[in-house]
């Protein structure tokens, strides 16, 4: 039987209940973000694990590189397997300055068997505008981890070079001279937008914040504060935020992630040889032969037989149902089908997202 994983987030990660959180955890500042870079480079020094002769672009790239140092050679004459062509990517954090170092990632695009032990040659990393913003270079290492097992070589075709990138061009964003900023909520929610607006106006001053929609807030900087001080104060303001119920289902692995208090309304569902009965409190149900009653939650008693799950708790939660189904030995696909059927019947008060 496949392993059945249920993550019941006791902190109610996907719960619709209120919880205290800071503005910085709910919203981003528009314009303050990472910028992505990409480049094409060569990894050399491989011990016969590089690209083969079928990777024409690798030999052509090496020929072009050698030409820059006055060594002219036909790409067809290059038979070395100690080089590999790679794509190099990196992110420039907001407000990074010239000379700062960033991590870079390298990924083989040829038929190299492994990049382990190789050295990335100087690679220009460009932005979407085609301009060079950073340079990448360094030794590729996995810290001695042998992915192939005892007596086998590593088969590393992608790796990260820590501090392997050097910023050469800064991305201009002079936030200090601005009169205001925009906040963008990570999840659109009218209630949270209004709560942030009211909390900022109450803490810093009336008329400072204005919620334009469920995701966007416009902030005006007070004259007595610098922009950095203003943003720092705004980000530390705490509100009682609201998060919507959500159930995440990964059908490939049989993983279900849900809040601990996702409630289930009264419903009766039969799936194969499993019957789920959720009754209102005080409802009577004849006990089936062989049924035993066990505690699997706070003041929740669920009856179990080889094919019946029932409860009379008025506030049955999804986590309670999960534990009961686990005890019955239900397979992940059966659990997922039951959850989806309950949602279609309107018995689950949460949105379902399939990944």
The pLDDT tens digits for 336-354 are: 888 888 888 888 877 787 8
Mean pLDDT of 26-33: 92
Of 71 and 322, the one with more pLDDT: 71
Residues 214 and 322 in one domain: no
In a domain, 24, yes or no: yes
Query: Phi and psi dihedrals of 61, rounded to 5?
Result: -65, -40
Range of the domain at 263: 246-354
In a domain, 12, yes or no: no
Residues 227 and 107 in one domain: no
Give percent above pLDDT 70 in the chain.
Answer: 80
Tell which of 182, 212, 242 closes a domain.
242
In a domain, 11, yes or no: no
Decide: 190 and 214 in contact? Cβ < 8 Å: yes
Residues 117 and 228 in one domain: no
Residue 144 has pLDDT above 60, yes or no: no
Q: What is the pLDDT of residue 6?
A: 35
Q: What is the pLDDT of residue 290?
A: 39
pLDDT, tens digit (0-9, with 9 covering 90-100), for 328-337: 777 888 888 8
Q: Model pTM? A: 0.68
Given 3-state DSSP classes, what are the helix, strand and coil percentages for the chain, each rounded to the nearest 5?
A: 20, 35, 45
Residue 92 has pLDDT above 80, yes or no: yes
In a domain, 275, yes or no: yes
In a domain, 25, yes or no: yes
Of 231 and 253, the one with more pLDDT: 231
Residue 90 has pLDDT above 90, yes or no: yes
Give percent above pLDDT 90 in the chain.
Answer: 42
Residues 203 and 276 in one domain: no
Per-residue buried b or exposed e for 173-195, using 16+ beta carbons within 10 Å of the residue's own CB: eeeeeeeebebebeeebeebbeb
Residues 26 and 40 in one domain: no
Question: Looking at the 3D structure of the chain, how many domains does it have?
Answer: 3
Q: How far apart are CA 191 and CA 343, in angstroms?
A: 24
């Amino acid at each position: 039987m496949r392993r059945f994983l249920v993550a019941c987030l006791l902190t109610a990660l996907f719960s619709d209940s209120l919880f205290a959180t800071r503005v910085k955890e709910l919203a981003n500042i528009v314009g303050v973000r990472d910028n992505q870079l990409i480049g094409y480079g060569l990894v050399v020094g491989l011990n016969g694990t590089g690209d083969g002769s079928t990777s024409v672009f690798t030999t052509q790239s090496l020929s072009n590189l050698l030409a820059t140092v006055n060594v002219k050679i036909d790409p067809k004459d290059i038979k070395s397997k100690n080089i590999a062509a790679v794509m190099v990517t990196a992110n420039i954090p907001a407000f990074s300055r010239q000379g700062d170092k960033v991590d870079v990632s390298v990924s083989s695009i040829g038929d190299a068997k492994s990049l382990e032990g190789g050295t990335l040659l100087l690679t220009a990393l460009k932005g979407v505008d085609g301009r060079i913003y950073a340079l990448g270079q360094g030794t590729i290492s996995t810290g001695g981890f042998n992915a192939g097992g005892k007596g086998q070589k590593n088969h590393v075709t992608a790796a990260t070079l820590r501090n392997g990138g050097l910023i050469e061009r800064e991305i201009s964003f002079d936030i200090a001279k601005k009169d205001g900023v925009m906040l963008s909520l990570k999840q659109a929610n009218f209630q949270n937008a209004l709560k942030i607006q009211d909390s900022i106006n109450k803490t810093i001053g009336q008329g400072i914040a204005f919620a334009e929609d469920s995701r966007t807030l416009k902030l005006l900087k007070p004259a007595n504060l610098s922009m950095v001080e203003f943003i720092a104060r705004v980000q530390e303001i705490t509100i009682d935020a609201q998060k919507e119920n959500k159930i995440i289902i990964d059908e490939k692995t049989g993983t279900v992630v849900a809040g601990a208090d996702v409630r289930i309304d009264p419903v009766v569902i039969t799936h194969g040889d499993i019957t789920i009965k959720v009754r209102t409190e005080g409802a009577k149900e004849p006990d089936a032969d062989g049924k035993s009653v066990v505690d699997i939650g706070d003041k929740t008693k669920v009856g179990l037989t080889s094919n019946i799950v029932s409860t009379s708790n008025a506030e049955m939660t999804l986590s309670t149902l999960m534990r009961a189904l686990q005890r019955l030995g239900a397979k992940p696909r059966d659990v997922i089908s039951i959850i989806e059927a309950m949602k279609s019947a309107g018995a689950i008060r949460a949105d379902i997202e399939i990944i």
